[in-house]
């Protein structure tokens, strides 16, 4: 990839240009609404729901925000996730000479498939380094897009060592999963669509909006792992007045962005077996420059594994959308995180907010979903990865 210092600046105008470049290759994914879930989000939590929380211990009254929820269905994007946007934009920025050498990355997830598809579309070689513990379905999907797969160990140093070998052998250009301006700008294109789609929807049907007011989005909640999407969304919406928030799992320290903001520094390592396995990676250096800017990302909130599972069930059973656990993070924050809910109640008042939630992807299987809602998993079962997307176990700092 190009030296980040020579790339297009992280501005809304650059995201607009990125969207024009990739529009022929991506889906303009639909938005969806749910009266039921908006009602749930606007209903105070019960004492039973708050049991054991800090709010319960303090005897605080449950928040009573007013929200209308809008969902951006990136689970219907090509390769089943938003990652296609960044991959196609990254390749659009490479020279003919670079493309001829091919591209390489390391990933066991959505970025592997996305880069493989983008490379096939451009007619260039793709080399994907995948941990040997990657699930057969992910390996088959990546190979199905025409990529050459090289296997590695599961740790970041092991994967990176194999990438270096591929670069030395082939001259292929490294396309990182999230820590690069071209990736960030590509991911941000979903926010441009989201903003316009909601504005059009409420203009046509004002009753979709809070207080029947024909206004667009007030806020967007996006999952945060490496931070490519969250920083892209924040870049795209900078200056619009739309607030941007991140959503993370709290399990085993996967909420590194939230903790980093409180500590005033980027946390460089994450080792978590959260069921939201699309975000089991620390925020990258370049995304952190955006996420740590309060004028761009107002805050990041964390939710428990049980709250993710409850939100995922609602999305599947009430909205009839098939998504992976990571995609449920934003809804879990809107429904269950009292800190976020008090913020909406305080800042929105009686009028309320139109809240956009990014459904980041749908790459899971019925088998994995079934295991997720089976009997409680033991630590040994978690170590086998039976609760992860596609049943896979991802180790420390697995990206994409």
**CB-count exposure of residue 365 (10 Å: 0-12, 13-18, 19+):** middle
Distance CA 373, CA 204 (A): 39
Instruction: Kindly give the residue spans of alpha helices, DSSP state H, lying in the chain.
Output: 12-22, 35-41, 47-50, 54-58, 83-92, 96-101, 110-122, 136-144, 156-170, 181-204, 228-237, 256-263, 285-291, 305-317, 329-336, 338-348, 366-372, 379-383
CA atoms within 13 A on the CB side of 236: 29
Max Cα–Cα distance, the chain, nearest Å: 64
CA atoms of 282 and 400, how far apart (whole Å) = 11
Give the residue among 170, 129, 132 at the shortest CA–CA distance from 150. 129
Three-state secondary structure along 32-91? EECHHHHHHHCCCCCHHHHCCCHHHHHCCCCCCCCEEEEEEEHHHCHHHECHHHHHHHHH
**HSE of 137 in the Cβ direction (CA atoms, 13 Å)?**
13
CB atoms within 10 A of CB 64: 13
- Residue carrying the six token digits 């990652």: 83
Phi-psi domain of 390 (left: phi exceeds 0; alpha: psi -120 through 50; beta: other):
left
Choose the catalytic residue: 72, 83, 138, 310.
83
Residue at token pair 């806020």: 219
Is residue 108 annotated as part of the catalytic site, yes or no?
Answer: yes
**Euclidean distance between the first and the last CA atom of the chain, given in angstroms as a whole number:** 17
CB atoms < 10 A from the CB of 356, how many?
28
Helix or strand run (H / E) with residue 104: strand 103-106
Give 275: exposed, middle or buried? Use CB within 10 Å, 0-12, 13-18, 19+. Answer: buried
Three-state DSSP class for residue 171: coil
Instruction: Check 14, 38, 108, 250 and give the catalytic one.
Output: 108
- The token pair at 273 is 């077996």
Distance separating alpha carbons of residues 107 and 385, to the nearest angstrom: 17
Q: Which residues are catalytic?
A: 83, 108
């Amino acid at each position: 990839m190009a030296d980040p210092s020579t790339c297009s600046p992280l501005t809304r105008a650059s995201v607009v240009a990125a969207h024009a470049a990739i529009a022929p290759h991506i889906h303009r994914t639909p938005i969806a609404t749910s009266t039921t879930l908006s009602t749930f989000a606007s209903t105070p939590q019960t004492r039973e729901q708050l049991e054991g929380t800090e709010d319960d211990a303090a005897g605080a009254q449950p928040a009573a925000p007013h929200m209308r929820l809008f969902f951006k269905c990136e689970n219907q994007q090509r390769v089943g996730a938003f990652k296609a946007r960044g991959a196609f934009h990254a390749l659009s920025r490479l020279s003919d000479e670079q493309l001829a050498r091919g591209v390489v990355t390391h990933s066991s997830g959505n970025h592997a498939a996305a880069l493989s598809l983008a490379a096939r579309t451009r007619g260039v070689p793709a080399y994907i380094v995948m941990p040997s513990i990657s699930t057969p379905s992910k390996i088959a999907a990546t190979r199905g897009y025409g990529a050459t797969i090289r296997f590695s160990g599961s740790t970041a140093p092991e994967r990176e060592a194999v990438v270096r070998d591929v670069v030395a052998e082939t001259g292929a250009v490294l396309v990182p999963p999230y820590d690069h301006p071209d990736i960030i700008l590509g991911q941000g294109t979903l926010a441009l669509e989201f903003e316009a789609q909601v504005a059009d929807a409420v203009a046509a049907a004002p009753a979709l909006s809070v207080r029947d007011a024909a206004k667009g989005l007030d806020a967007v909640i996006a999952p945060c792992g490496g931070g490519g999407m969250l920083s892209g969304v924040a870049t795209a919406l900078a200056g619009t007045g739309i607030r941007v928030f991140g959503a993370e799992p709290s399990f085993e320290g996967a909420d590194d962005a939230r903790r980093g903001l409180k500590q005033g520094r980027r946390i460089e390592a994450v080792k978590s077996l959260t069921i939201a396995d699309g975000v089991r990676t620390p925020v990258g250096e370049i995304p952190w420059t955006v996420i740590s800017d309060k004028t761009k990302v107002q805050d990041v909130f964390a939710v428990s594994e049980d709250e993710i599972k409850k939100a995922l069930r609602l999305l599947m059973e009430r909205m009839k959308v098939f998504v992976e656990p990571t995609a449920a993070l934003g809804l879990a924050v809107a429904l269950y995180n009292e800190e976020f809910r008090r913020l909406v109640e305080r800042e929105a008042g009686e009028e309320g907010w139109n809240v956009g939630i990014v459904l980041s992807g749908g790459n899971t299987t019925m088998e994995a979903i079934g295991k997720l809602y089976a009997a409680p998993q033991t630590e040994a079962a978690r170590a086998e990865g039976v609760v992860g997307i596609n049943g896979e176990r991802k180790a420390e700092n697995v990206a994409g």
